[in-house]
Each structure stands twice: as structure tokens, then as C-alpha cells.
Chain A
Amino acid sequence: MLKVEGLNVSYGDLQVLWDVSFEVKEGEIVVLLGANGAGKSTTLKTVSSLVKPTVGSVEFLGVRLDRIPSHEVINYGLAHVPEGRRLFPDMTVEENLIVGSLTREAKSKRKKTLEWLYDIFPRLRERIKQPTGTLSGGEQQMVAIARGLMSLPKLIMFDEPSLGLAPIMVTEIFKVVEMVNREGVTVLLVEQNVHHTLAMCDRAYVLENGRITLSGTGEEFLNNDHIKEAYLGI
């Protein structure tokens, strides 16, 4: 479904990704693991064309995403829930969700999608008219996820959705990610939270210093000595 091949990305003179290749198949949950500064967010930004690679290609359902402007990516069914949530703080919960459904198809189904999402996130229904800047971190993350789903994507990318949240919220957010996947949306998840993610994912990749160093199924990862040492602290 999503095929990333040989990505090299630089910010000015500083190269941050070297020959990054990975694949996401339809229906999967794929996790991209890595420490701070490993290049995870840059990888997702390159997939959504916010950052252009110097070498390499991003192909999604046969379309070269690296060749189109970033605002057109969502039209092909790929949503990106960015790191740090990046909500529109002075707009209400509902307005944020509406802005998530500007593509033609999503717009025609806007009312139905909103109802569906309010059923999944009852807490957002209570806060419809509240500016998102005044919500708690966990609620903001829910708005961010819901806003990503408003475009009715085929694949949704989450960039560290558990960042800065209380442990109970983290569990809840990962439940939501699994549920989104059960609804038929393919998931590409970037995380540092190894415990939760490896248990629920189909496959995983490890990104270290801008290079993919390891790939395999979630189970293989949980038994891998390097992973145990570096990420699970066992």
C-alpha cells in the first residue's frame, strides 16, 4: 500500500535520513521505533511531502507522493496526525474536526463521520463548543486523532500520540489506535513507547541515527536481545 524506498533527507547541510526503506501493507499496524532525533518525524513528514527527499521515492497506492505538493496528499487517502497534536488552538473542537474534512468525499459525508467519531469519543461530544487550546493533553490528542479520521483515510500515520500523556491516557490512546485499525484503516505508528506498541503491531522497524537497522514482526522484536537492551531496559 505504502512503499518507501531509499530515502535520503537533508535539512540544509545536515543529512538526517540515510537510505530509509520500508513498506506498509493494507490492513496492517506498522510501528516505526526509535529514540529522540533518530529521524522518525522526518520520515513521516517526508511521506506526507512536507519535506522533500534528495534521493528516494514514496509511493502510495501507485502515486508518487514525493512529486506532489503536501496539501494534495490527503486527497489520495493518507492522513497524518502530527507530533505535538498541532490543533488549531482558537478553534472549537467541532471546527477542528470540520477542517479535517475538506476533501470532496469527506465533505459530503461530514455529518455522518462527525456522529461516528462522537460515538467513539463521547468526551469530545461534551466539549463540542470548547476551544481546543483549553482542553487537557489527552483530550487534545483525541481531537487530533479524530481530525485525522475526518478525511476518511485509507492509511493514517500517528506521530508519537502518547507523548506527554498520563499512563491511563496512553493506554486509552493505544486502544483507540487498535480500534481504528479494526475499522479497516491501515496504521503507521511512530513511537518511543515500546511496551504497548510491539504487543499490538503486525510488523515493526527500528530507526537509529537516520538508518533502518532492524525489521521484523512484533513478536520477533519482543524476543530480540538488542531491542530488550536498548528499548525495553531488560
Chain B
Amino acid sequence: MEVFLQTLVAGVLKGGLYALIGLGMTLIMGVMGIINLAHGQFMMVAMYITYALFHFFGLDPYTTLIISMPSLFLLGVLIQKYLLNPLMKVESILPENQVLMTVGIAMVLTEIARFIFSSNYLSVRTSYSSSAFYVGGISFSVALTVAFGFTCFLTISLFWFLIKTDLGRSIRAVSQDSEAAELMGIDSGRIKVITMGIGAGLVAAAGTLLLPIYYLFPDIGGPFTRKAFIITILGGLGSTVGAIFGGLTLGLAESFGATYIGMDFEDLVGLVIFLLVLLFIPGGFRRFTKV
């Protein structure tokens, strides 16, 4: 029973971070109608920013959120404005070509990171990286718990923004019907730029929060792009509430897979769940959420 609860806690904490990764991808999917295959690479860039600030300036990893998130917001804005939006203006270019562009961006970001930091594994060791506290015999990793707290805060802020502000409503309007949104006076090009910024900013937070308990090398983006893709599909392409469920499901699946099947099968269990959802509930968790 204790092992089960321990696995559950670990899965939920990790799932929170996955939800944060999936939320950004889902927003981008909803508004742009494309899968951003550079999503994990955005996260990798944020992790290097955190690493550099920690290593050279001695900043606490969590403090670096106030730099990594705005930096990635800006990177997302510039990429959308100067690389992706121009592709949409050419009618003969299919939306698929924007996806190819994101693949290219992913490669360029990875190689720039390799150029600057080399391929070596790096990590950020803090006093709380491997410490834990206990509640009723169950251990909670301090770093993961703090990360979970930040994740909840960011998620609630995001939903408040999407539901209560005119800009947030405009983002939802464009994702539901972009031509009707144009008629309402919404500049969909501008909304796309802002959405890419927000998506990149959210995944930056996930990267920064993950770094104290993880390691870092230039190719780390790829696996996380894949995870983000799985979460977005699980959540039902474009559903924000679905992305949270998708993130938690993947976190729990990996956690239980690692405990009950074996550490090596962690990723496999996630992928099996992914296939099962595709087979038996196509459309993902969206049908249960309606948001």
C-alpha cells in the first residue's frame, strides 16, 4: 500500500510538470492549428538559460524563472512573427510546411546549444535537489513539490487570463473560429504571435522547474517534444483542460510503469497508454471536459 501511495504521489508531482509542458503546446495547437515540434527545444533553451544564470551568477534556479520565462516568451514571439506567420501568407504553402519549419527551428536551437555548451551532460546541484520531507511515511521530493506549487499557480493564472481578460478571450475566439474573430476586430496574426510567446513561456517554466532534479544536454529537447505531443493528443488536440488530464495521465503512467514493471519500461508504459487512448477513446479526454 505504501509503495502504491508513493508511486501515486511521484506520478502526480511529475504529471503537474507534464501538464505545464502540454498546456503550451495545446494553446499553440488550438490557435495555429499546427503541432509545434520545437516545443521540447524551447524547454531545452530555458534550461540552459537557468543553468548559465546558476553557474555564472549563482542565482537560485527558481529565481531564474523571472528571466527564463520572459526570454522564451520573446523567442516565441520572434519565431512566430518572422518565421511562421510569413509562411501563412503564401496560399500555395500548406499548414504542414509550418510544422516542417518548427522541425528546422528545433534543429537550429539544438545545434546552437551544442555549439555554446558542447554535448556534455550538465546539472544544477542545489541544497534541495535531493532532499525530501515525509508525510505519513510517504516521501515528497522538495524540488518536485515546489515545482508542483509553481505549476498550479501558473495554470490557475493561465485560466484566469484566458477566461477573464479580453486578450484571453480573443485567443480562445481565434482558436474556435479565426475568420469570425477577424470580423470581431481581432487581428489573428497578432494573436498567433502572442500565443506562441505564451506557449514558449510556459514550457520555459517547466524546464527551469525541472532542472534541479534533472540533467541537461543539447538533445534533451527531442524526448520532451515527443512527451508534449503525447500529452496534447491525450488531451484531445486543443483542449486546455484536456492537456492537464493528459499531463497527469502520462506522469502517473510513467511512475507506475517504473515501480511495477521496471525503470527501463518507464517510457514504454507512457506510449502504450497513448496507443490505448487512440484506439479506445479517439479524440482524447476532450469529450469529458468540453472546455
- B89 located at the interface, meaning its Cβ lies under 8 Å from any Cβ of chain A in the complex: no
- B281 located at the interface, meaning its Cβ lies under 8 Å from any Cβ of chain A in the complex: no
Taking CB atoms, residues of chain B closer than 8 Å to A107 are 166
Contact of A82 among B176, B180, B188 (CB under 8 A): B180
Give the contact-size bracket for chain A: 20 to 34
Q: State whether A69 and B187 are in contact (beta carbons under 8 Å apart), knowing that A89-B176, A90-B291 are contacts in the complex.
A: yes
Q: Which B269-291 residues sit within 8 Å CB-CB of chain A?
A: 290-291
What separation, in Å, do the CA atoms of A80 and B179 have in the docked complex?
11
Cross-chain contact A99 with B183 (CB below 8 angstroms): no
Q: State whether A98 and B169 are in contact (beta carbons under 8 Å apart), knowing that A71-B187, A74-B185, A147-B184 are contacts in the complex.
A: yes
What separation, in Å, do the CA atoms of A82 and B172 have in the docked complex?
19
Cross-chain contact A74 with B169 (CB below 8 angstroms): no
- How far does the Cβ of A62 sit from chain B's closest Cβ, in whole Å? 20
What separation, in Å, do the CA atoms of A88 and B184 have in the docked complex?
11
Closest B residue by C-beta to A89: B176
- The interface size of chain B toward A, counting residues with CB under 8 Å, comes to 19
Closest A residue by C-beta to B191: A71
Q: State whether A88 and B182 are in contact (beta carbons under 8 Å apart), knowing that A69-B187, A99-B170, A107-B166 are contacts in the complex.
A: no
Contact of A91 among B172, B186, B188 (CB under 8 A): B172
- A48 located at the interface, meaning its Cβ lies under 8 Å from any Cβ of chain B in the complex: yes
Taking CB atoms, residues of chain A closer than 8 Å to B166 are 98, 102, 107
Cross-chain contact B180 with A90 (CB below 8 angstroms): no
- A21 located at the interface, meaning its Cβ lies under 8 Å from any Cβ of chain B in the complex: no
Cross-chain contact A99 with B290 (CB below 8 angstroms): no
How many Cβ-Cβ contacts under 8 Å join chain A to chain B? 70
Q: Which A86-118 residues sit within 8 Å CB-CB of chain B?
A: 86-91, 95, 98-100, 102-103, 107
Contact of B169 among A80, A89, A95, A131 (CB under 8 A): A95
Closest B residue by C-beta to A91: B172
Taking CB atoms, residues of chain A closer than 8 Å to B185 are 71-75, 102-103, 151
Cross-chain contact A99 with B179 (CB below 8 angstroms): no
Cross-chain contact B176 with A71 (CB below 8 angstroms): no
Cross-chain contact B188 with A71 (CB below 8 angstroms): yes
- A70 located at the interface, meaning its Cβ lies under 8 Å from any Cβ of chain B in the complex: yes
Closest A residue by C-beta to B167: A102
Cross-chain contact B179 with A50 (CB below 8 angstroms): yes
Taking CB atoms, residues of chain A closer than 8 Å to B187 are 69, 71
Contact of A50 among B176, B182, B184, B291 (CB under 8 A): B182
Cross-chain contact B183 with A82 (CB below 8 angstroms): yes
Chain B 171-205 near chain A by CB (<8 Å), digits 1 or 0: 01100110111111111100000000000000000
B residues near A (Cβ < 8 Å) are 166, 169-170, 172-173, 176-177, 179-188, 290-291
27 A-B pairs whose Cβ atoms sit less than 8 Å apart in the complex:
A48-B183, A50-B183, A71-B183, A73-B183, A73-B185, A74-B183, A74-B184, A74-B185, A79-B183, A82-B179, A82-B183, A86-B177, A88-B172, A88-B176, A89-B176, A90-B290, A91-B173, A95-B169, A95-B172, A99-B170, A99-B184, A99-B186, A102-B185, A102-B186, A131-B290, A151-B184, A151-B185
